[in-house]
Structure 1
Amino acid sequence: MQRMPMIERENISGDLAVFYDSVAALLGRVPRFYRTISSAPWLAMCFLPINATAQRQWPGTRISGRVKELVVIKTSHVNGCEYCYAHNTALGAAAGITEDEVIALSSDEYLKSATLSDAEKAAVRWAEAMTRNTAGKDDALFAELKEHFPDGEIVEISMVCAMFNMINRLTDSLGVPIEEQAEIDLIKPSLNLDPAKVKDYVSWMAGFWPHADFDSLNRQAAEAAERPAEAAE
């Protein structure tokens, strides 16, 4: 059940509108998740570059989009987060994850998969352990993970998993409704992140941040959230 209002693009202007344009540039569209959390605009603005760089495939990350999405899909399935599961099976398809692999990830069948590598299976097992909060005591699993990934890659895998545990809980707790499939599929071209777009966004935010009227943007977000649903597309 939807618990929070969504802020629609046509109801905003100024810096908040620029932010929405940046979300679309980095993530392929402005998902309902961002339309919901933008009621806290400054936190949403700070979260965007972490979300984009941790999850997407780009030269600054050492983990492929395929591995990241395997981790995200498993995390979201364990948490029962239908919103994130729907979005990331779509992004996972763009990363080369097949429907059969998605089905296998919904149980322990992925451990028998002939198409998942041993490294991918270890990453998924680690994601499941982190999500169930058993990873900290599972030294054997950590040792297995280290057989396949160097330290930096383990950090990246763990950050993606931890980030989606947070996103899963936000979307479920705030009741963010799932979009239609056509809108969800707009996520697919965003698999490969353009670092120049991240630089543009961070530079834009850094440019006005020291001189920002923080309360002004909070007021704009609150007013936009109060617009009637008929004003939205």
Structure 2
Amino acid sequence: MAHIAPVAEDDLPDEIRPILEMARARMGFLPNSLPTMAHWPDLLKVFSPMAVTILRSGELDVGLKQMIAAVTSAAAGCRYCQAHTSHGAAHAGGVDSEKVVRVWEYQQSDLFSDAERAALDLALAAGQVPNAASDAHFSALRRHFSEREIVEIVAVISLFGFLNRWNDTMATALEDEPAAFAAATYAPDQWDLGKHGA
């Protein structure tokens, strides 16, 4: 059960309703994390455009950004964000379902390019506490990505650093759509909803 209940739909301030409706239109459902942020409307007003900028604009492929977010969330242990980003990779990012399943095996799977492996290696290292990012990660990234693209990769990792902490700390309830996607996509030993299953 969530530690802080999302603001009820009828109680949402008019000024933030468009933000939540845009999120619902983009994702196909309203993530519970946003109406929880609505307890502090100014937070939601600055968070939402930043998240959209990081995930939906720039030079990197949206699907790669979602996979970076999934691996970052896996490193942090946030099942809520793992479900969201896996769902997002398949639906918003257009990533093949087999590749979504194999993202946890990216280092060995031939479905992933060397560039993707370099990005996901940094996501795995930087998502850990303490942060395990190293010079070697950045050397590998520079073989495939521009400095602008590397900044985008780190921005995705950093955004999910916030979201992983937010959702795990708040015990945000996982919505039906990403929960069903994760349950249908992963084997039982790969997926356990844990505290976010309720």
TM class, shorter-chain normalised?
A: 0.7 to 0.9
Higher-Rg member (1/2): 1
Counterpart pick for 1:159 among 152, 155, 160 = 155
Preserved CA contact (<8 Å) 1:90 1:184: no
1:134 aligns with 2:132: yes
Matches within 5 A, 1:195-210: none
Secondary structure of the structure 1 residue equivalent to 2:157: helix
Shift of residue 27, structure 1, vs aligned partner: 4.7
2:155 maps to amino acid? M
Q: Does 1:49 align with 2:46?
A: no
Question: Given the alignment of the two structures, is residue 180 of structure 1 paired with residue 176 of structure 2, yes or no?
Answer: yes
With the length of structure 2 as denominator, give the TM-score of the two structures: 0.81
Out of 59, 65, 85, the residue aligned to residue 62 of structure 1 is 59
> The residue matched to 1:166 in structure 2 has which SS?
helix
Report the TM-score, using the length of structure 1 for normalisation: 0.70
Query: Do the aligned partners of 1:24 and 1:30 also contact (CA within 8 Å) in 2?
Result: yes
What is residue 72 of structure 2 aligned with on the other side? 75
Aligned to 1:195: none
- 2:75 equivalent to 1:84: no
Structure 1: which amino acid aligns with 2:73?
S
Greater RCO (Cα-Cα under 8 Å, separation 6 or more) = 1
Contact 2:83/2:179 (<8 A) preserved: no
CA contact (8 A) 1:111 1:121 kept: yes
Aligned pair count?
A: 178
* Paired residue secondary structure (1:114): coil
Which consecutive residues of structure 1, in runs of 5 or more, have no partner in the other structure? 186-233
2:21 corresponds in structure 1 to 21
Asked whether the 8 Å contact 1:6–1:32 carries over to 2, the reply is: yes
Given the superposition, is the C-alpha separation of residues 14 and 79 from structure 1 closer, same or farther in structure 2, using an over 3 Å criterion?
same
CA distance 1:184–1:166, shift in 2 (3 Å): farther
Q: What's the Cα RMSD here?
A: 2.1
Unaligned runs of 5+ in 2: 182-198
Taking only the aligned residue pairs, the percentage that are identical comes to 30
Q: Is the 8 A contact 2:71 2:124 kept in 1?
A: yes
Distance 1:37 1:13 in 2: 12
Query: Is 1:145 equivalent to 2:141 in the alignment?
Result: yes
Partner residue, 1:9? 9
1:45 is matched by which residue type in structure 2? Answer: K
Deviation at 1:3, TM superposition (A): 0.2
